[in-house]
Structure 1
């Protein structure tokens, strides 16, 4: 801004105010759109709340205060899907909680989910556990009798096949699968 010689403080202030008012509507639309489209993403509930609150405060600083129920709606709409069960409950509470109360409820749920996730990852019954299930043919009982020449036991009939009718061969690796 360029000042003219002989300008008074009052005239400078009026010029600044005129500049501010020229951008006020555009800035208001920008901030309202930002609030409406804001989503949680990878942020925690607290980080998301703070970001939304800062944007709402900026909107209030230019004289356009968003109603509390509108901020609550934007906040709930921007949450991740893992909070859907609470979003439904919060929307039907009578009276509706304010934004800070909703943030508190969701922060407690985030903490609970985090503890549950930690307990599950410490459990050994999961997809990456080192468990192998062998899906080969079971071995039939050995044919042991004293009529064999060497008094040995055999899994084979005289024709060289297993007692269950299959030929003797090692199970292939195709018959082995990791547990999932």
Structure 2
């Protein structure tokens, strides 16, 4: 609608409007080619999903085709593989070795499958990490804590409960001051 408002004249015919729109678009064609080619070649996946990344590349390839600079399917696949992030290094190495060379749709399909596999591995790794994490807090020997279950001693000064844990005995009272631990002599 914005373009129509620019080219519209009082006594314009459909042909003159069409010609004006075509001229408006074609006048900056060379500049658009330069910018589109640069964006196409330099696009990297970063943190985009495979769907978003492949969609953006396809949109740029189509835009280049619209300005008489068509991108072959093979070049689209190679550019896609070139811009993948480090998680897809294996796929970027193996896909070009396939015979026959994969189409863009086949490459995207394989990359989507790899994305799903990577997500499943990440979930399993996170679940394994959570299950193997220690269930109690441990202190290093510099804290003065010793294994033995000091309890929390209701905050009595010198009572041995440091307030940091209820599993380890240490020589601090609830206020953080050094005090006597249960079982130690003054």
TM-score, normalization by structure 2:
0.63
Aligned partner of 1:47 in structure 2 is: 52
Aligned partner of 2:78 in structure 1 is: 73
Where do 4+ consecutive residues of structure 1 move more than 4 Å? 2-8, 125-136
Q: Deviations over 1:48-107 (max 9, x none)?
A: 111111222222233322111111111111111111111111111122101111111111
Q: Is 1:89 aligned to residue 94 of structure 2? A: yes
* Unaligned 5+ runs, structure 2: 1-5, 143-186
Which whole-Å CA distance do the structure 1 matches of 2:89 and 2:57 have between them? Answer: 19
Structure-to-structure mapping, 1:154-165, within 5 angstroms:
none
More displaced 10-residue stretch of structure 1: 104-113 or 12-21: 12-21
Q: Which has the larger radius of gyration?
A: 1
- What SS does the aligned partner of 2:27 have? helix
- What SS does the aligned partner of 2:79 have? helix
Aligned partner of 1:19 in structure 2 is: 24
* Unaligned 5+ runs, structure 1: 137-180
Which whole-Å CA distance do the structure 2 matches of 1:29 and 1:76 have between them? Answer: 22
- After superposition, the Cα gap between the structure-2 partners of 1:130 and 1:92, relative to the gap in structure 1 and judged at 3 Å, is same
- After superposition, the Cα gap between the structure-2 partners of 1:70 and 1:135, relative to the gap in structure 1 and judged at 3 Å, is same
Aligned partner of 1:168 in structure 2 is: none
More contact order relative to length (CA 8 Å, sep ≥ 6): 1
Q: Which of 86, 103, 110 is the equivalent residue of 2:115?
A: 110
Aligned partner of 1:64 in structure 2 is: 69
| 2:7–2:20 Cα contact (<8 Å) kept | no
Q: Deviations over 1:132-162 (max 9, x none)?
A: 59789xxxxxxxxxxxxxxxxxxxxxxxxxx
RMSD of the alignment, in Å?
3.0
Aligned partner of 2:172 in structure 1 is: none
TM-score, normalization by structure 1:
0.64
Larger helix percent: 2
Which whole-Å CA distance do the structure 2 matches of 1:127 and 1:77 have between them? Answer: 38
